[in-house]
Structure 1
Amino acid sequence: MKKGMLLAAVLLCGIIARAQSTLVKFTTNHGTFTVMLYDDTPKHRDMFLAEMKKGTYTQALFNRVIKEFVIQGGVLDDTTLLYEQQHPELGAPRFPAEIKLNRYHKRGTLGAGRDNNPEKASFFNQIYFVVGKKYTEAQLTELEKKKGVIIPDEHKKVYESVGGIPRLDGDYTVFGEITKGYEVVEKISQLPTDKNDVPLTPVTFSVTILKKK
């Protein structure tokens, strides 16, 4: 089965198994794609919708693009950390993590960016989409040993057949997945970048709600 067809099948199974209440559309200057926000990470779902309402994701930028890893959008780490240094009276607000065993970094998932804080709490205004790559059984076994974890068999099958970034599991909150148009993210992930992983030509995006119960 071709990669695109297999990815579509995996995502479709996810939709059937977990009918979610919120769908949003990302409109970029390279095409559009649809994202389902998970209901079992309700705080991140609602935080993302609140940021949408504030305009955070209106004509925003995918400002960090790494082939076979992620495309990241919103406010960069350095920008946030510099602002916090300049305004110590505001502290360093972060959003509490919602890390779920069943929400893992398979290809096409949506995660919340963060800095290296011990609580693994998220930034309010930074997201990423997983591109990743396929892994062999031996590579996954080695990763289990390195991290001291057990990767569920179901997840291993997806990482081997579709791909993703298993080393991020348990460290970042995953709160949605692409249901249509993953090829747009794949295309963006392959754009030329500078030495800081910034696309040479700006990649803009805006997010709108398609469905919300």
Structure 2
Amino acid sequence: MRIPVLLIALLLAWPVLAKKPSKKKDYLVTINTEFGPMRLILYDQTPKHKANFIKLTQEKFYDGLLFHRIIQNFMIQGGDPDSRNAPPDQMLGSGDAGYTIPAEFVPELYHKKGALAAARNNNPEKASSGCQFYVVQGRVWNDAELQQQTERIAQMKGRQPTDAQKQVYQTLGGSPHLDGNYTVFGEVIDGLAVVDSIARQPANPLNRPLKDLKMTVSGEWMKKKKITKQFGYVYPKNR
């Protein structure tokens, strides 16, 4: 019997989950760039995406890959394995890990600035790429713009951002039109200025930066109290 590729990926990720030291610790991700580090946490509410990202990080899958697509006031995208040592004229964005991850849409996880989300193709199930991701830069929305977006979201997906989420979109900023379409599975808790620096770099008409923007990605299990103390991230009570 042929074992599905996704099942193989999840079985490979199982040892990663089994090694989690305790509920008092979480996995802190660091994405290093020439503009400095971004530090991120991964949400427990999206366990398949969290396990997969930890697995790839521990395998050093992302080291040497590029942020191959950047759009200022929108997002920065990376994780295409074809981007490693890619010549300047190569079109990027189609590389994958050989599997997809089922969508894990959680209404309270949304596309605020700094959100970590999974890229995908146009598959009808909205399954995520096994490796490509993006970090939201977005922008601040005024009342009229946000109302237009929320009405559109409600028509398409039968839901609207909460008042608290609207407040974030109007202050911190983000990309509300992506909500419910792509899985959000983490967030930047330190280094939002790095997202801004990457997003403003010159790019070609296909949004590939003119200069290669390489990353290395590492992680470590750390006490949640220490994460809160160092970076100010406050865990929800149910985490």
TM class, shorter-chain normalised?
0.7 to 0.9
% identical equivalent positions = 38
SS of corresponding position for 2:94: helix
Which residue, out of 5, 20, 38, partners 2:43? 38
Partner residue, 2:20: none
Matches within 5 A, 1:130-209: 130-147=136-153, 148=155, 149-209=159-219
Matches within 5 A, 1:76-95: 76-80=92-96, 93-95=99-101
The CA distance in 1 between the partners of 2:221 and 2:194, in whole Å, is 21
Q: Name stretches of at least 5 consecutive residues in structure 1 with no aligned partner.
A: 1-18, 84-91
Partner residue, 2:106: 100
After the TM superposition, list the runs of 4 or more consecutive aligned residues in structure 1 that deviate by more than 4 angstroms: none
Partner residue, 1:127: 133
Q: Name stretches of at least 5 consecutive residues in structure 2 with no aligned partner.
A: 1-23, 81-91, 224-239
The CA distance in 2 between the partners of 1:26 and 1:57, in whole Å, is 9
Q: TM-score, normalised by structure 2?
A: 0.73
The CA distance in 2 between the partners of 1:130 and 1:48, in whole Å, is 17
Q: Is the 8 A contact 1:77 1:114 kept in 2?
A: no
The CA distance in 1 between the partners of 2:150 and 2:95, in whole Å, is 34
Q: Which structure is larger by alpha-carbon Rg, 1 or 2?
A: 2
Task: Give the number of aligned pairs.
Answer: 185
Q: Is the 8 A contact 2:128 2:183 kept in 1?
A: yes
Cα pair distance change 1:38/1:20, threshold 3 Å: farther
Displacement, 1:77? 3.4
Displacement, 1:135? 0.7
Backbone CA RMSD of aligned residues: 1.8
SS of corresponding position for 2:48: helix
Q: Is the 8 A contact 2:60 2:218 kept in 1?
A: no
Instruction: Indicate the structure whose relative CO is greater, using CA pairs within 8 Å and at least 6 residues apart.
Output: 1
SS of corresponding position for 1:204: coil
The CA distance in 2 between the partners of 1:190 and 1:211, in whole Å, is 32
